[in-house]
Chains A and B, each alone.
Chain A
Amino acid sequence: MIDFVVAPLEYGFMVRALIGSVLVGVMCPLLGAYVVTRNLAFMGDALAHAVLPGMVLGFIVGINPAIAAVPTGVSVAVLVRIVSRRAGLSADTSIGILFAAMFALGLVMLATSPTIGVDMEDLLLGQILAISPTDIYVSLGITIVVILGLFALHHWLLFASFDPVGSQVVGARANFVDYVLLVMLALVIVIGIQAAGIVLVMAMLVTPAATAYVLVRRFVSMMMAAAAIGTAAAVTGLYISYHFNLPAGPAMTLVASGIFVLVVSFRRKAPV
């Protein structure tokens, strides 16, 4: 058993992958708690797809794709709210328009830049085993920023999440915290894509938080439980991928999904 845990850590890439997995396992579910309780799953999925042009641009100009993806994700998060308000459309419709347009733009950029040599499969499914020291530093920086943001805005985030109208009446800060939440979501998705890829980052964002929602009562407890479940799923998935020669992103996703199925089988939450 000790060999199962320690042996992979003789390799530098596995140590980096383990650090990356822990960061993803903590951050995605922390934000995921808001995604699950505020019905933002479609928004999360859209942001994950919409950062593709930023990542491709990063490869083209030779900067870290995670860094390049951040402004794209943040811009799309803010644009969704602006388009919804200006066009009088539902958030879902605005998300659908922007997500498809940005993903298509990314695919066109990828098709017209054959020299960058990016494997589309790596972008879609993630490649945590290839995570670089720079990626780790970027992820760590984003993690610190997001945790500080969640701490500083905690009460406003609770207010705006539970009673959007009442919080707007109290002040302009409620609108501001909604924007900040979307920006933090975009940042965390960029971290998550490295581990799980564009398609599967949703699993790390939503599944541990949904599991925690079933298990505990209060929101803060839900965030903590989600982070614990997410970390367990990410690390376990990483080891399974190493020992059984499986892709890491899908392995993490399947572990997180397995925990969810187990919890829901033994515990049922009354519908709201």
Chain B
Amino acid sequence: MNPAPNVHGASMSLQDVTVELDGHMALSNVTFDVHAGTLMGVVGPNGAGKSTLFNAIAGLLPVRRGKVTLHRVDRGSGALAYVPQQESVNWRFPVTVMDVAMMGRCCKLGWCRRPGKRDRDLVDACLYRLGLWDHRSALMTELSGGQKQRVFVARALTQEASVLLLDEAFSGVDVGAQEGLIEVLQTMKNEGRIVLLATHDLTNLAGRFDQVLCLNRQVCACGPPDQVFTSEVMEKLYGAHGVRLTRDGEQ
């Protein structure tokens, strides 16, 4: 079974999006567009509003001003998938890799229907594709950091999502597993999906994105990596330390 659904044509547009959290401005006038088949990195320091941005896009936080528009993305049918930060997952809950992949079918199953042959075939295909078939009966707590992230990506595939938001997906994942994961994400964007990935890591992965959004409560820069990673932008993001990062990168 082909786990790549009809996802072409989705796009996302944020216009002057402003979000307040507990009376503080968490995001201010954020404006950018993303088109189908884009892998975008969202970078910025701690507290820059990366998670807030994802929550606003996902509809988990109210937008005070501005507008988030998702074209050809039906949230109710599971077209938007979210890979959360590790801390927000209930690891005490004993589920297997297969269980998590099947969670992606919830929207399609509705209330009382049990998974049918198509659901099971799709789950099997996605687990094969992400190299998780041999681990299908393993508990999530028995996996490495990289494998856990792959399972969440598999869930997004079984969900037939056209937009995938990954919040700090590389946290606690070793460099080799990061490479493997980014290859999977590149395949997904080649199928026409929009993939947004929030990360602190500028050293290994910066050049692997099609677009980079530099965020520090407001958009400092947005564009292809070679145009965005300049000394000025890094200083806006990380202060003087950011300038040193750029020089090290240039060296």
**Distance (whole angstroms) from the CB of A209 to the closest CB of chain B:** 12
- Among A2-10, A54-62, A153-161, the stretch that binds chain B is A153-161
- Tell me the count of chain A residues lying within 8 A, CB to CB, of chain B: 31
Task: Give A172-192 interface residues, CB cut-off 8 Å to B.
Answer: 172-173
Contact B83 A155 (CB under 8 A): no
> A171 and B99: CB pair below 8 A?
no
CA separation between A169 and B61, bound complex, in Å? 11
Which residues from 4 to 50 on chain A have a C-beta closer than 8 Å to any C-beta of chain B? Answer: 37-39
In the complex, what's the smallest C-beta–C-beta distance from A117 to chain B, in angstroms?
45
The answer for the CA separation of A155 and B116 in the assembled complex, in Å, is 13
User: Which residues of the other chain, B, contact A161 by a CB distance below 8 angstroms?
Assistant: 90, 93
Contact B88 A153, beta carbon cutoff 8 Å: no
Which segment of B39-47, B104-112, B241-249 sits at the interface? B104-112
Residue among A152, A153, A165, A171 with the most chain B CB within 10 A?
A: A165
Chain A residue nearest to B105 in the complex (CB): A155
Tell me if B213 counts as interface (CB < 8 A to partner A): no
Chain A residue numbers with a CB within 8 Å of B198 are none
User: Considering the complex, which residues of chain B in the window 168-220 have a beta carbon less than 8 Å from any beta carbon of chain A?
Assistant: none
Interface status of A163 (Cβ within 8 A of chain B): yes
Q: How far is the CB of A157 from chain B (nearest CB, A)?
A: 10
Complexed CA–CA distance, A155 and B83 (Å)? 18
A162 x B90 contact (CB < 8 A)? yes
Quick check: B84 and A158 within 8 Å, CB to CB? Answer: no
Known: A155-B109, A169-B60, A219-B99. A37 touches B94 (CB 8 A): yes
Residues of B within 8 A of A163 (CB): 84, 88-90, 100, 103
Q: Which residues of A contact B92 (CB under 8 A)?
A: 37, 39, 272
Taking CB atoms, residues of chain A closer than 8 Å to B84 are 163, 165-166
A34 to B80, CA, bound (A): 27
Determine whether the beta carbon of B103 is less than 8 Å from that of A153. Answer: no
Interface residues of A in 82-112 (CB under 8 A from B): 88
Contact with B along A206-238 (1 / 0, CB 8 A): 000000010001110010000000000000000
* Contact in complex: A164, B90 (CB < 8 Å): yes
A97 to chain B, nearest CB (A): 21
Query: With A152-B111, A164-B88 in contact, is A218–B96 under 8 Å at CB?
Result: yes
Are B88 and A165 in touch, CB under 8 angstroms? Answer: yes
Judge whether B91 is part of the interface by a CB distance below 8 angstroms: yes
Complex alpha-carbon distance, A81 and B73, angstroms: 29
Among candidates A166, A168, A213, A270, residue contacting B83 with C-beta atoms closer than 8 Å: A166
Instruction: Judge whether A222 and B94 touch: CB under 8 Å.
Output: yes
CB distance from A75 to the nearest CB of B (A): 24
Given contacts A168-B60, A170-B106, contact A152 B112 (CB under 8 A): yes
The answer to whether A219 and B93 have CB atoms under 8 Å apart is yes
| B229 interfacial by beta-carbon distance below 8 Å | no
Contacts of B95 in A (CB 8 A): 158, 162, 218-219
Residue A165 contacts which of B60, B115, B141 (CB distance < 8 angstroms)? B60
**Contact residues in A for B225 (Cβ distance below 8 Å):** none
Shortest CB–CB separation between residue B47 and chain A, in angstroms?
19
Residue of B nearest to A155 (CB): B106
Do A173 and B90 touch across chains, with their CB atoms under 8 A apart?
Answer: no
Residue B149 CB within 8 A of the other chain: no
- Chain A residues in the interface with B (C-beta under 8 A): 37-39, 88, 151-153, 155-156, 158-159, 161-173, 213, 217-219, 222, 270, 272
Which 10 A/B pairs are nearest by Cβ-Cβ distance? A169-B82, A159-B103, A169-B58, A165-B84, A162-B93, A152-B112, A37-B93, A165-B88, A272-B92, A272-B91
- A and B contact pairs by CB, cutoff 8 A, 30 listed: A37-B92, A37-B93, A37-B94, A155-B109, A161-B90, A162-B90, A162-B93, A162-B95, A163-B84, A163-B89, A163-B100, A164-B88, A164-B90, A165-B82, A165-B84, A166-B81, A166-B84, A167-B103, A168-B58, A169-B59, A169-B75, A170-B81, A170-B107, A171-B76, A171-B106, A213-B94, A218-B96, A218-B99, A219-B93, A272-B141
Q: Which residues of B contact A (CB under 8 A)?
A: 22, 58-60, 75-76, 78, 80-84, 88-96, 99-100, 102-103, 105-107, 109, 111-112, 115, 139-141, 152, 155, 159, 165
List 17 additional contacts besides A162-B100, A171-B78, A171-B106; criterion CB under 8 Å: A38-B93, A155-B102, A155-B109, A156-B111, A159-B106, A162-B99, A162-B103, A163-B89, A165-B82, A166-B84, A167-B106, A168-B60, A169-B82, A217-B139, A218-B139, A219-B94, A272-B91
